Amino acid sequence: MDFREFLANVQSIRNYENDSVKDIILGDIKAYLGEINTTVGREKGFSFILFEKGAEIYNKLEGVGGYSGIMIKSPHYIGLSLSADRTETEFLGAYFMQSIVKKLFGMELGSCWINIRNVSGEIKASILNDEKCNINYMLAFGKIDEKVLKQKSPSMLIQNVSSLYKTNPYGTQVVENTGLDSARLGVGEIVYLYEWGKEADYEELENRGIADLFYYVRNAPSYKNIQPCRFILKDGEAYLAILNPDNKENYVDAGIMMYTAEGLAKDFGIPGKWNFVEDKAINKDYSIVARIEL
């Protein structure tokens, strides 16, 4: 599946049919989670857990956790369990959680991120049956309730706010129809050239063959659409940075952003090899979190 197709069509689904997903499909999902846990998670301090009995999870989290504080009811959930309290663990966990979103999308299942970071440790321990690990995020997933979905407006629309679009695609915004009219940042606002704050010229991006990549990458989801991620473009590579590095949720957004950037890079024939960066620089405004070859 073309990654741009996934990015354009995936939605956070909050309404599901009551029917459980077929056992054979759940088995496929469980196998995918097991592969991630074995190949990466065990070493890096995280693991994914499939909760087949969604009602039990919903009852524990109703009123205390969920999407913007509202618990999403679904037949099944996937939990991200953390055994290490490191920024790299937050980053990688989010990267692979978003890969699960794409996996479910390819199975024609809906999903929605659920933030339970501020839920009490006692409730989290009861979910995991383990007081040594932590859990900050879950995915609700299941068969989409199409009747409810059809009643909703499209989640995104593209709005040209510049009369010079042909020469200035920076003027195009993607507006999420969430009732908040929150707009995605323009390309020039998220991509810097060589140094922090120096906007990359569109012609420069076009000459490097990566203008379209950064045009689409803006659509990577972020918590409450805060959009804390920025790219610092250098020769043959780009560094992914986040604003407000003291906020751990921004590392989660960065993991999702890197998954999106890598997927788009491969769409455009770019290998997009990347690695996490432990930024040792003392900078209160931003922090480098990863490097990707472009």
Q: Where are the domains of the chain?
A: 3-149, 189-293
CATH class as words, domain 189-293: alpha beta
Dump pLDDT digits (tens) for 218-256: 889 898 889 999 999 999 999 999 999 999 999 999 999
Dump pLDDT digits (tens) for 129-178: 877 889 999 999 999 998 876 665 444 444 434 333 334 444 444 444 44
Average pLDDT, the chain: 87
Predicted local distance difference test score (pLDDT) of residue 166: 39
| Residue that the structure tokens 């998220």 belong to | 190
Predicted local distance difference test score (pLDDT) of residue 50: 97
Q: Is 235 exposed, middle or buried (0-12, 13-18, 19+ CB in 10 A)?
A: exposed
| Residue that the structure tokens 């805060």 belong to | 226
Dump pLDDT digits (tens) for 81-121: 999 989 999 999 999 999 999 999 999 999 999 999 999 99
- Rg of the chain in Å (alpha carbons): 19
How far apart CA 101 and CA 86 sit, in angstroms, is 23
| Residue that the structure tokens 């196998």 belong to | 31
How far apart CA 94 and CA 181 sit, in angstroms, is 26
Dump pLDDT digits (tens) for 54-84: 999 999 999 887 766 689 999 999 999 999 9
Predicted local distance difference test score (pLDDT) of residue 68: 64
Superfamily grouping for domain 3-149: NADH Oxidase (3.40.109.10)
What are the tokens at 246?
């003291």
Predicted local distance difference test score (pLDDT) of residue 168: 45
Dump pLDDT digits (tens) for 18-50: 999 999 999 999 999 999 999 999 999 999 999
What are the tokens at 16?
């599901």
Q: Is 275 exposed, middle or buried (0-12, 13-18, 19+ CB in 10 A)?
A: exposed
189-293 matches 3-149 in CATH topology: yes
In the chain, the DSSP E strands lie at 46-51, 76-82, 110-115, 134-142, 156-160, 172-176, 191-193, 229-234, 237-243, 274-276, 286-293
Predicted local distance difference test score (pLDDT) of residue 238: 97
Predicted local distance difference test score (pLDDT) of residue 67: 67
